[in-house]
Amino acid sequence: MHMIDLAGRVAIVTGAGGGLGRQHALLLARRGARVVVNDLGAGADAVAAEIVAAGGQARAVQCSVTDADAVQAMVDGVVADWGRVDILVNNAGILRDKSFAKLDLADFRAVVDVHLMGAAHCSKAVWEPMRAQRHGRIVMTTSSSGLYGNFGQANYGAAKMALVGLMQTLALEGERYGIRVNCLAPTAYTRMMEGILPQDQLDALDPALVSPAVLALVADAAPTRAILCAGAGSYELAHVTLTQGVHLADPTPEALLAQWDALADRDGEMVPGTGFNQARHELRKAGLAIPDAD
């Protein structure tokens, strides 16, 4: 396979002032992309300067992804100066970890605003430029906390799983315009993980080992609608599946519970192409023919 070359491409990486975002930005720049380093604080300037010092092209834009107008201004400025936006890596995030019983709803909202609404603001801002040029790559940063749950992270998990739903629909809507949208579920040593794992395990979770996954998801040959997991040099795919299930001629809650083992049997489970495929599957089990989607 040819080496991925991003020469001529323009990338925006949010939350790129440190940690995972910094590694993503550096790798994209090394592969030839012009990179917009978005974050709050001096970290964005430092990373942009690091890219320029290495011979790349970068600019720092300090704004919050929760500010839709500021995000739009960032994208408008990039398009005006560099002519296009090809890649968006939605990486910005915060933590407000507490058990649900102790969690203030203001902290729930803050996490959703940064992770979910921030990604929506950025994706919306680049959507029309990408549609017009008929090329785009968007990466949402989801998490195992959203896919599988994690104690004390109800707000974070809810926001991260919501990004999977956003990805699924944007991938369908963007396909005809050459826009491919995927999710990345990283496991990496960042400041957010300090104190959670022993140091030797943290050292194995080098953020630089996640960034190759980002490069794969923004390449010309990138897939679409993938949930790619990455950490410590390992890479996996996660899927939202549907079991074959059961059909009850006389549905009652008691009958449903009595059939739970059959309902949960994962033999022959599927990955629906769209949400409507659930209805299609259920109607077929009820004996009603329904044509396949185009």
Distance CA 243, CA 269 (A): 4
Check: CB of residue 41 under 8 Å from CB of residue 19. Answer: no
* Cβ count within 10 A of residue 260: 10
Phi/psi of residue 231, each to 5°?
A: 180, 140
Distance CA 11, CA 13 (A): 6
Amino acid at position 196, single letter: I
* 156 annotated active-site: yes
Amino acid at position 290, single letter: I
CB within 8 Å of 274: residues ≥ 6 apart: 172, 293
The catalytically annotated residue of 156, 177, 189, 235 is 156
Residues labelled as active-site residues: 156
